[in-house]
Amino acid sequence: MKILNFKIYFSFIFFSAYILNSYSKNTIVNIGNYSLLVDVALTEKQKKNGLMFKKKLVDTNGMLFIYKKPKKVKFWMKNTHISLAIIFIDNNKKVKKIIKGKTLSDKVITSDYPIIAVLEIPYSCLKTLNLKINDSVFWDELFPKKINNRNINKNNLFPCL
């Protein structure tokens, strides 16, 4: 009986995790003439994990961390295998700071300013995007990946993978 209860409990946990993951959010970020499809970190757990443990990006160009109100934030590259540009964005959606994240580093990276969002993309994309301090960064409303798969023409997105 205990084994059956454990199997039911495990199945419920696995199914719940699958359902929650299938409805994770992403959005389009616009920088100049470029559009990037990125995952969105909204919850504290998503923000804590970020892109850790990923060896490469699949189907997205990075991750956007959104905060409800401007605040100073801290990031690090621990357990992050991808060389990232960490872009701090203020409440006017202007770039305030760009840092190159060193892979697998424990060094803390701070925003220095109150920000409303952080965008992490592969560092190699910065040269093509020609992103600079005070440039504008815009993102669309958030929507589930399942909708993205039908509505987004990925050929129009910047291939920053």
Confidence band for 24, pLDDT divided at 50, 70 and 90: low
Quick one: pLDDT at residue 105? 92
Residue 54 banded pLDDT, cuts 50, 70, 90: confident
pTM given for the model: 0.76
Domains of the chain: 25-156 (2.60.120.1140)
139-152 pLDDT, tens digit each: 976 654 443 444 55
The span from the CA of 6 to the CA of 12, in Å, is 10
Backbone angles phi, psi at 46, to 5 degrees: -60, -40
Tokens 């100073």 locate to: 72
pLDDT tens-digit profile of 69-96?
A: 999 999 989 998 889 999 999 999 999 9
